[in-house]
């Protein structure tokens, strides 16, 4: 149980275009989902916390107009990277906290974004 999927697993896009990444909790309801970014050989950096039905809370330094997060249901959150640039190339990972659970998070497999 507690499986989180992400789609796509990897995407290549041109500079200036937008890319949408989906995060789904497959067998549980997640009131809270998290989005992370990870650069090579670095730790995960929390970008934003997304609660179902409300606006996402962004970490300091993360542009909310560039990284649009939507959490429309208890099993789906999306991250849209708008007007992507090469410096946005990274590994994006989502996680979901089980509804009513303590603090354990289940992570998706990640999405590798390359902006050319």
Q: Is 41 exposed, middle or buried (0-12, 13-18, 19+ CB in 10 A)?
A: exposed
What's 47's DSSP letter? E
Q: Pick the stretch among 13-21, 65-73, 82-90, 107-115 that binds another protein (CB under 8 A).
A: 107-115
Interface with another protein includes 50 (CB under 8 A)? no
By CB under 8 A, residue 58 contacts another protein = no
Q: Does 106 bind another protein (CB under 8 A)?
A: yes
Nearer to another protein, 49 or 82 (CB): 49
Which residues contact another protein (rule: CB under 8 A)?
4, 6, 34, 42-46, 49, 91, 93, 95, 102-110, 112
């Amino acid at each position: 149980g507690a499986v989180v999927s992400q789609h796509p697993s990897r995407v290549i896009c041109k500079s200036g275009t937008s890319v949408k990444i989906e995060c789904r909790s497959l067998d549980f309801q997640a009131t809270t989902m998290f989005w992370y970014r990870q650069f090579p050989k670095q730790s995960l950096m929390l970008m934003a916390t997304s609660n179902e039905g409300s606006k996402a809370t962004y970490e300091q330094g993360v542009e909310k107009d560039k990284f649009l997060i939507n959490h429309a249901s208890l099993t789906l959150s999306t991250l849209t990277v708008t007007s992507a640039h090469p410096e946005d190339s990274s590994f994006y990972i989502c996680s979901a906290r089980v509804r009513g659970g303590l603090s354990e998070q289940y992570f998706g497999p990640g999405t590798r974004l390359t902006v050319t």
